[in-house]
C-alpha cells in the first residue's frame, strides 16, 4: 500500500473541496484550483478529510494513488497558506525590477530581459545596498510557481567557478577551483 496515498488529507477551516466526477476543485482564501483525476482513482470527502483510494494493486494504479494524493494535498495547502519562493541574483550589475506582472532582469547581457508572469503569481523585487537583489514569487499553485522559477533560473544558471547567476535563497552551489589552483 502506498504510504503517501493512504494518508488522509485534512481540510483546514475556510477551505472547501468538491468532487464532480473525476475533477477535484479546491476553494480557499488564496484562490481556487482544480485538478482532473484519473477515473480509476476514487476521491471522496469524508468528515473533514479527503481520502484517495485505488481499485487494486496494479502497478499503474499504485503510482497514480500517491501522485493524486500529493497533488490534492498541494492544492489544499496552496489555497489555505500559499507557496513562496525567493530567488537571489548573484553577480556584478545584476538587477531585477517588477512593475505589475512584468519582471525586468539585467543579467549581464547587452539587453534587458522582460518576463510577463501569469496573473496567478505575485512578484516582488527587492534590492538593498551591499546585498544581492531578491525576487520573491508567491502563488497558490505550487506547480505553476515551480515552473516559472525554473524558467527565470534558466536565463542565467549559477556557474561553479565564481558562483554568478540566479539561484534560490539557501541553495548551495558546488564550487570548482579553476585551473590556477591545479598548476604548480
CATH code of residue 26: 3.90.930.12
Which pLDDT belongs to residue 77?
Answer: 95
In this predicted structure, the answer to whether residue 182 has a pLDDT above a threshold of 80 is no
pLDDT score for 122: 95
For residue 140, being part of any structural domain is answered with yes
Q: What is the CA radius of gyration of the chain?
A: 21
| 134: its cell numbers | 531578491
Helices (H) and strands (E) in the chain, counts: 3, 13
pLDDT class of 4 with cuts at 50, 70, 90: confident
pTM of the model: 0.88
Within a domain: residue 4? no
Are 72 and 105 part of one and the same domain? Answer: no
**Which range marks the domain in which residue 15 is found?**
9-80
Both 60 and 132 in a single domain? no
Amino acid at each position: 500500500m502506498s504510504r503517501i496515498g493512504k494518508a488522509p488529507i485534512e481540510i483546514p477551516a475556510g477551505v472547501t473541496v468538491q468532487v464532480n466526477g473525476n475533477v477535484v476543485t479546491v476553494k480557499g482564501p488564496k484562490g481556487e484550483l482544480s485538478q482532473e483525476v484519473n477515473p480509476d482513482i476514487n476521491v471522496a470527502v469524508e468528515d473533514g478529510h479527503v481520502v484517495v483510494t485505488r481499485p487494486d494493486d496494479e502497478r499503474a494504479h499504485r503510482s497514480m494513488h500517491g501522485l493524486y494524493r500529493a497533488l490534492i494535498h498541494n492544492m489544499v495547502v496552496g489555497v489555505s497558506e500559499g507557496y513562496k519562493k525567493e530567488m537571489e541574483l548573484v553577480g556584478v550589475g545584476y538587477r531585477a525590477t517588477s512593475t505589475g506582472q512584468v519582471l525586468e532582469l539585467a543579467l549581464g547581457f547587452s539587453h534587458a530581459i522582460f518576463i510577463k508572469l501569469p496573473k496567478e503569481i505575485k512578484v516582488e523585487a527587492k534590492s538593498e545596498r551591499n546585498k544581492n537583489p531578491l525576487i520573491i514569487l508567491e502563488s497558490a499553485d505550487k506547480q505553476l510557481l515551480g515552473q516559472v522559477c525554473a524558467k527565470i533560473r534558466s536565463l542565467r544558471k549559477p556557474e561553479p567557478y565564481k558562483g554568478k547567476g540566479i539561484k534560490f535563497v539557501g541553495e548551495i552551489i558546488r564550487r570548482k577551483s579553476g585551473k590556477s589552483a591545479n598548476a604548480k
